[in-house]
């Protein structure tokens, strides 16, 4: 019912995998090598980048709501919610609808938050949601382009795509930038229960997935970042994160501590 095109070490795709697991949404994972710019994949996403989510279940449900003349607010107002849900489910089963295709981390996250609002991964107030979105942007955009994209391009993509030797200058910039991001995670974690506040949100998801890709490569000196390490240990203990910790790239094994919550 759902398909996610991803690359196993891409932190943006890992963000969506982690979020889907938190939401309890079964999804078929389809490996993609974005550097190959496969024609059929570029037709789905002209940028040629992962992640891309195809949601047939969401399409069927949206069509069912339209056929019943119900939006989310109207459905809640209908007397006898169980009867209304039965009618909606009947409409959904009338046959396949055109699947919904969403390209890119930010659009997919917003789509999932609206289409599958439980459990709440944004926050319970407008201010809390603004903070979780701010930090999601920090990690999925700023951290990604200042650190992860540089390191992964040089250490992973170039190797898998046979693009030559790593650019040591670019690699050094990415690794140098990583320090202040980990310090910021530690600062947040030392003052809040989770990064954006009291509750686990998309901010924690984005940060964890950027870190996990770098940790797979053994590039984090955790003894320098104890507060960030304690926060990440809690992430590694979540059931929804286990599939990330089980990832394995042929010929590129992770360090021994990678999957260990008590690292």
Tell me, which fold does domain 126-245 have in CATH?
Glutathione S-transferase Yfyf (Class Pi); Chain A, domain 2 (1.20.1050)
Q: How far is CA 72 from the centre of its chain?
A: 25
How far is Cα 198 from Cα 247, in angstroms, rounded to an integer? 29
Question: pLDDT of 117-174, one tens digit each?
Answer: 999 999 999 999 999 999 999 999 999 999 999 999 999 999 999 999 999 999 999 9
Query: Residues 105, 140: contact at Cβ < 8 Å?
Result: yes
Instruction: Please tell me the class of the 2-115 domain.
Output: alpha beta
Question: Domain coordinates of the chain in residue numbers?
Answer: 2-115, 126-245
Phi, psi of 201 (to 5 degrees): -140, -175
How far is Cα 13 from Cα 27, in angstroms, rounded to an integer? 13
Question: pLDDT of 58-104, one tens digit each?
Answer: 776 675 566 556 555 555 554 555 554 554 454 445 555 789 999 99
Query: Residues 19, 210: contact at Cβ < 8 Å?
Result: no
């Amino acid at each position: 019912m759902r398909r996610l095109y991803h690359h196993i070490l891409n932190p943006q795709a890992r963000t969506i995998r982690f979020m889907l697991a938190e939401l309890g949404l079964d999804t078929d994972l389809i490996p993609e090598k974005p550097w190959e710019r496969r024609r059929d994949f570029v037709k789905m996403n002209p940028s040629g980048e992962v992640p891309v989510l195809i949601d047939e279940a969401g399409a069927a449900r949206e069509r069912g709501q339209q056929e019943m003349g119900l939006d989310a607010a109207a459905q809640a107002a209908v007397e006898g919610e169980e009867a209304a849900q039965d009618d909606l489910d009947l409409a959904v089963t009338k046959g396949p609808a055109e699947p919904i295709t969403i390209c890119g981390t930010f659009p997919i996250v917003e789509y999932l938050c609206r289409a599958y609002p439980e459990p709440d991964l944004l926050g319970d107030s407008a201010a809390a949601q603004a903070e979780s979105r701010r930090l999601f942007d920090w990690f999925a955009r700023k951290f990604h382009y200042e650190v992860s994209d540089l390191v992964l391009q040089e250490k992973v993509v170039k190797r898998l795509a046979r693009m030559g030797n790593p650019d040591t200058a670019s690699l050094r910039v990415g690794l140098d930038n990583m320090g202040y991001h980990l310090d910021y995670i530690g600062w947040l974690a030392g003052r809040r229960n989770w990064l954006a506040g009291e509750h686990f949100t998309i901010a924690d998801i984005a940060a964890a997935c950027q870190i996990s890709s770098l940790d797979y490569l053994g590039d984090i000196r955790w003894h320098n970042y104890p507060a960030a390490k304690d926060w990440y240990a809690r992430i590694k203990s979540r059931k929804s994160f286990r599939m990330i910790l089980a990832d394995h790239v042929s010929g590129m094994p992770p360090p021994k501590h990678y999957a260990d919550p008590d690292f």
